[in-house]
Amino acid sequence: MTFFQDYSIPAPPPRPRTPQFTPPPWVAPPRHELPAVVPVGQFIYKSPSFVIAIEAVKVYSTGCNFDVTWMLRRTDQEDRKWAEINAVFHRPAPQLRNGGISADSVLLFGVRFPDGTKASTSSLAMYGRTGPMAQEPDGPVFEYRPRGGNGGEDDMSANGALWLWPLPPAGDLRLVSQWTDMGMPESSITLDGTQLREAAAGAQTYWPEDARARRR
């Protein structure tokens, strides 16, 4: 006989299953969907020391993710100057200058649809979402999602994704970028919006029930 044999340990009560959160289509790509991949391989800007390029576009049923990468190569900068550039290169938000926000200090992206509608990463994505997530935006969403980067004594690089919602209409889709502190003026490339829109038909759901939900 032991002291504790007279005390039973009750079974824990059943725990209800936590409902799965499904973000609205303008917030993120569908979770259970394999996108169609459209190769791009174009430089938005290229100089002797700085390049930025779109590698490919992952097209979902609701929008597109643009895979973007950039690299800065060291030229004649002294160690102190190179360290200062490194701080700017990896800064996630624009710098305050003379009491105001400087657009020169951050990498900017924008998109323009054939009808003149446009959107820029210089708005919500810099500071966090300011409106309710469930509220559908009035216009297109174009947000930058950083993925990572690295730097050394000779160069520094980074990459990320640009989420565009909704799918672009047919016609020319203009992608614009600017980073004044890295020596890049406003630069752009034009992609085929028709090709991207048609590629969405190749996006595949992981399971049949996801396809039924997508058609509702």
Note the pLDDT tens digit of each residue in 63-92: 999 999 999 999 999 999 998 888 778 765
pLDDT tens digit sequence for 20-29: 878 899 999 9
Percent of the chain with pLDDT over 70: 85
Domain assignment of residue 194, yes or no: yes
For position 95, what pLDDT does the model report? Answer: 57
**How far is it, in rounded angstroms, from Cα 51 to Cα 184?**
9
Higher pLDDT, 208 or 97: 208
Query: How is residue 69 written in tokens?
Result: 């990468």
In angstroms, the CA 205 to CA 211 distance is 6
* Residues 189, 192, 196: CA angle, nearest 5 degrees: 120
pLDDT at 194 over 90: yes
Tell me the C-alpha to C-alpha distance, in Å, between residue 138 and each of 38, 70, 141, 166: 27, 31, 9, 11
- Residue-level pLDDT at 106: 82
Q: 22: how many CB neighbours lie within 10 A of its CB?
A: 12
Domain of residue 81, residue span: 31-91+101-125+139-215
Q: Kindly state the average pLDDT of the residues 3-17.
A: 82
Task: Look at residue 15 and tell me if it is in a domain.
Answer: no
Reference 183, options 113, 117, 98, 85; nearest CA is 85
Q: Give the separation between CA 62 and CA 215, rounded to whole angstroms.
A: 11
What domain count does the chain have?
1
Q: DSSP readout, 57-76?
A: EEE-SS-EEEEEEEEEE--S
- Token pair of 90, please? 């990896």
3 versus 143: the higher-pLDDT residue is 143
Q: What is the pLDDT of residue 215?
A: 55
Q: Is 134 a domain residue?
A: no
The pLDDT of residue 126 is above 50: no
At 152, the amino acid letter reads: G
Local structure of 81: helix, strand or coil: helix
Under DSSP, is residue 185 helix (H, G, I), strand (E, B) or coil?
strand
Question: What pLDDT sits at residue 124?
Answer: 46
What is the pLDDT, as a whole number, of residue 160? 92
Element containing residue 118 per DSSP (H, E): strand 118-120
Report residue 74: phi and psi, to 5°: -70, 140
In a domain? residue 19: no
* Residue 3 included in any domain: no
Residue 144 lies in a domain: yes
Q: Give the model's confidence band at 122: pLDDT under 50 very low, under 70 low, under 90 confident, else very high.
A: confident
In the block, which residue shows the tokens 């305050």?
96
Classify residue 59: in a domain, yes or no: yes
Quick one: pLDDT at residue 85? 85
CATH number for the domain spanning 82: value is 2.60.40
Mean of all residue pLDDT scores within the chain: 86
Distance CA 52, CA 73 (A): 12
How are beta strands 100-101 and 108-112 bridged, if at all?
A: unpaired
Structure confidence at residue 127 (pLDDT): 45
The total of other beta-carbon atoms located within 10 Å of residue 155's CB is 13
In a domain, 49, yes or no: yes
